[in-house]
């Protein structure tokens, strides 16, 4: 089994369980602190992500790529220099942005957001910035060695610990107000990330090929070339992520201000944004563990093949990734489209967010494709192009949000439409950029047949909803229709010869046993 396939399978398995835990996480948050608390949490969260992005400086992808290249030619000494330089950069930046977030929280909350209570979760989350920064360096090292187990297990540990402390802390602080409960959720994040980091450090000590602390600062000598190599990828990657992070930071500001212009109160705007980003989006993003797993393994796999001039392997890996993302994404989104209402009521005891899922689901498969396409661009030293594509897409999104959401006839639906336009545009730009560098075969018949199978599956699901919704309980309805739609989708794919049963058997045969 190739490292690419094995690494992808490991991350898929871990990602599935981690995403399930993450979803339990979301349910716990929603159940304990409600729509208003979720709104406060989701409005403040992008600011925290912006601080993390500035601290990481795009290094995780750069470390993964440069370590993979150094390993391919047996330069162990260079691997140590990569880690030393990366740690010095991230720790120095942490010393700047952690206090900036902590002491700047009141100013950010009172100046940019319409709800001053966002100050509390912002202050609470600040200490996690250096923890995530160091974790990202170690994860990048393991991913560069195409050893995906430590990163995968660390994510599982982080989510498990976080769930426990969300339940404990949110429940304890809720009587003091939803803002304190939202802050408690952030503290639970810190505890989860800290335990995850301790695990990664332990795994690094057990599996390292060198002693990192030995002559640590002496390793900085003669490391200018390593610094330049890292920055050639890290800066464009950070630029791309910065655009996404700044856009996400600006998004709740533009949304709340636009909805205020449309005549909605701060509390109503907070609840609506919480329903969209805290209820609907986690469901839509549930299958994204697949694209994240593929993207993580795609960077070192394509980097290695490209450095060895194996261009056919590069195209093969990319086409495999696109096909797999479309198949799995289409199945998930079809089920979400049909079961949006029952799922929202069962999970959150609220129908808020149902219409958002109905509007976004038909287009969301393009969001799933964005991640592997961007990973391929980074692996091919086209991170700068990816950055500009993201800049265009996110700028358009923010402009459309302001134009539409500020009009009473659109309101929050204007935000949904703007999000759709944004990710569709970026995905097409990424694909067009890749076509300029490598030939990518477009399997038109494959995609047409896949969409026919999707149509059959959705039609079946809608028919079952009509006839069973008054007969079965909500859980029984969800389980029955999910299994029925999944079976119909697989049968349709087999009948149309998109993916035959022998392909499924071959896939299952390469999964490691035991």
In this predicted structure, what is the pLDDT of residue 211?
A: 63
The answer to whether residues 346 and 478 belong to one domain is: no
pLDDT band per the 50, 70, 90 thresholds, residue 511: very low
- How far apart CA 384 and CA 386 sit, in angstroms, is 5
The answer to whether residues 396 and 488 belong to one domain is: no
User: Considering the entire predicted model, what is its pTM?
Assistant: 0.68
Closest by Cα among 158, 162, 232, 144 to 199: 158
In this predicted structure, what is the pLDDT of residue 140?
A: 86
Q: Which of 421, 442, 463 is the last residue of a domain?
A: 442
Least confident of 165-174, 450-459, 475-484: 165-174
In this predicted structure, what is the pLDDT of residue 506?
A: 47
Give per-residue burial for 212-245: e unless 16+ CB within 10 Å, then b.
beeeeeebeeebeebbebbbbbbbbbbbbbbbbb
The answer to whether residues 511 and 424 belong to one domain is: no
CB atoms under 10 Å from CB of 457, counted, come to 26
- How far apart CA 338 and CA 481 sit, in angstroms, is 9
The answer to whether residues 283 and 199 belong to one domain is: yes
User: Are 59 and 234 spatial neighbours (Cβ–Cβ below 8 Å)?
Assistant: yes
Residue with tokens 């070192």: 300
pLDDT band per the 50, 70, 90 thresholds, residue 230: confident
Report helix angle 3-56 to 128-144, nearest 10: 150
The answer to whether residues 282 and 236 belong to one domain is: yes
**What DSSP string runs through 79-104?**
HHHHHHHHHHHHHHHHHHHHHHHHHH
In this predicted structure, what is the pLDDT of residue 222?
A: 64
Closest by Cα among 364, 343, 366, 367 to 353: 343
The answer to whether residues 426 and 469 belong to one domain is: no
User: Are 135 and 197 spatial neighbours (Cβ–Cβ below 8 Å)?
Assistant: yes
The answer to whether residues 461 and 431 belong to one domain is: no
* For residues 5-25, average pLDDT: 67
Apex 370 CA angle, 43 and 40, nearest 5 = 5
The answer to whether residues 499 and 360 belong to one domain is: no
Q: Domain residues for 474?
A: 443-514
Percent of the chain, pLDDT > 90?
Answer: 21
For CA atoms 157, 123, 243, 355, the dihedral sign is positive
Q: Which of 442, 470, 501 is the last residue of a domain?
A: 442
Pick the most confident of 39-43, 196-200, 261-265, 344-348: 196-200
| Interacting residues of 483 by C-beta distance below 8 A, sequence separation 6+ | none
Question: How many Cα atoms occupy the beta-carbon half-sphere of 102 within 13 Å?
Answer: 12
Residue 75, Cβ density class (10 Å: 0-12 exposed, 13-18 middle, ≥19 buried): middle
The answer, yes or no, to whether residue 208 has pLDDT greater than 80, is no
The answer, yes or no, to whether residue 360 has pLDDT greater than 90, is yes
The answer, yes or no, to whether residue 509 has pLDDT greater than 50, is no
Question: How many Cα atoms occupy the beta-carbon half-sphere of 314 within 13 Å?
Answer: 24
pLDDT band per the 50, 70, 90 thresholds, residue 452: very high
- How far apart CA 204 and CA 141 sit, in angstroms, is 9
The answer to whether residues 330 and 402 belong to one domain is: yes
CB atoms under 10 Å from CB of 300, counted, come to 29
pLDDT, tens only, 77-135:
777 788 888 888 888 999 998 999 899 888 888 887 767 888 888 999 889 889 998 99
pLDDT greater at residue 274 or residue 307: 274
User: Are 334 and 485 spatial neighbours (Cβ–Cβ below 8 Å)?
Assistant: yes
The answer, yes or no, to whether residue 14 has pLDDT greater than 70, is no
Residue 401 in tokens = 């949000």
- How far apart CA 419 and CA 401 sit, in angstroms, is 8
pLDDT, tens only, 310-320:
778 888 888 88
In this predicted structure, what is the pLDDT of residue 131?
A: 92
Domain total of the chain? 2
> Mean of the per-residue pLDDT values for the chain?
82
- How far apart CA 188 and CA 160 sit, in angstroms, is 11
In this predicted structure, what is the pLDDT of residue 214?
A: 62
Q: Which of 400, 421, 442 is the last residue of a domain?
A: 442
In this predicted structure, what is the pLDDT of residue 508?
A: 41
3-state helix, strand, coil in the chain (%, to 5): 85, 0, 15
The answer to whether residues 66 and 191 belong to one domain is: yes
The answer to whether residues 338 and 354 belong to one domain is: yes
The answer to whether residues 175 and 159 belong to one domain is: yes
* For residues 290-296, average pLDDT: 76
In this predicted structure, what is the pLDDT of residue 477?
A: 92
Percent of the chain, pLDDT > 70?
Answer: 89
The answer, yes or no, to whether residue 297 has pLDDT greater than 80, is no
- How far apart CA 215 and CA 500 sit, in angstroms, is 56
- How far apart CA 111 and CA 47 sit, in angstroms, is 13
User: Are 39 and 271 spatial neighbours (Cβ–Cβ below 8 Å)?
Assistant: yes
pLDDT greater at residue 483 or residue 43: 483
């Amino acid at each position: 089994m190739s490292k690419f396939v094995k690494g992808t399978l490991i991350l898929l398995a871990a990602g599935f369980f981690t995403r399930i835990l993450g979803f339990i996480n979301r349910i716990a948050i929603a159940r304990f602190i409600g729509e208003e608390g979720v709104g406060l949490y989701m409005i403040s969260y992008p600011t925290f992500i912006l601080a993390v992005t500035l601290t990481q400086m795009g290094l995780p992808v750069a470390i993964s790529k440069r370590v993979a290249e150094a390993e391919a030619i047996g330069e162990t000494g260079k691997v140590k220099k990569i880690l030393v330089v990366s740690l010095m950069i991230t720790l120095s930046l942490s010393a700047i942005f952690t206090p900036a977030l902590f002491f700047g929280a009141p100013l950010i909350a009172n100046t940019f957001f319409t709800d001053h209570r966002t100050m509390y979760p912002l202050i609470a989350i600040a200490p996690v910035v250096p923890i995530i920064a160091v974790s990202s360096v170690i994860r990048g090292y393991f991913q560069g060695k195409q050893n995906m187990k430590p990163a995968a297990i660390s994510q599982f540990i982080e989510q498990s610990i976080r769930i426990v402390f969300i339940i404990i802390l949110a429940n304890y602080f809720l009587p003091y107000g939803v803002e304190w409960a939202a802050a408690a959720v952030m503290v639970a994040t810190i505890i989860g990330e800290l335990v995850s980091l301790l695990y990664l450090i332990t795994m690094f000590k057990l599996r390292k090929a060198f002693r990192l602390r030995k002559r640590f600062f002496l390793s900085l000598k003669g490391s200018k070339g390593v610094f330049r190599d890292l920055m050639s990828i890290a800066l464009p990657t950070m630029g791309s992520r910065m655009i996404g992070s700044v856009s996400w930071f600006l998004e709740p500001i533009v949304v709340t201000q636009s909805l205020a212009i449309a005549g909605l109160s701060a509390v109503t705007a907070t609840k609506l944004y919480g329903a969209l980003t805290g209820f609907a989006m986690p469901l839509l993003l549930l299958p994204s563990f697949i694209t994240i797993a593929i993207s993580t393994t795609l960077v070192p796999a394509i980097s290695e093949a490209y450095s060895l001039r194996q261009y056919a392997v590069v195209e093969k890996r990319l086409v495999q990734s696109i096909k797999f993302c479309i198949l799995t994404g289409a199945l998930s989104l079809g089920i979400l489209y049909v079961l949006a209402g029952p799922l929202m009521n069962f999970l959150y005891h609220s129908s808020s967010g149902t219409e958002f899922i109905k509007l976004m689901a038909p287009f969301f498969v393009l969001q799933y494709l964005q991640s592997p396409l961007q990973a391929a661009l980074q692996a091919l030293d086209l991170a700068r192009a990816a950055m500009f594509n993201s800049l265009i897409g996110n700028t358009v999104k923010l402009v459309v949000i302001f134009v539409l959401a500020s009009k009473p006839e659109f309101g929050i639906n204007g935000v949904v439409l703007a999000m759709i336009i944004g990710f569709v545009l970026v995905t097409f730009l990424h694909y067009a950029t890749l076509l300029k560098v490598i030939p990518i075969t477009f399997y038109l018949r494959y995609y047409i047949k896949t969409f026919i199978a999707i149509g059959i599956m959705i039609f079946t699901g809608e028919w079952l909803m009509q006839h069973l919704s008054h007969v079965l309980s909500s859980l029984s309805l969800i389980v029955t229709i999910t299994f029925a739609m999944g079976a119909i989708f697989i049968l349709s794919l087999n009948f149309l010869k998109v993916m035959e049963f022998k392909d499924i058997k071959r896939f299952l045969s390469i999964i490691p046993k035991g």
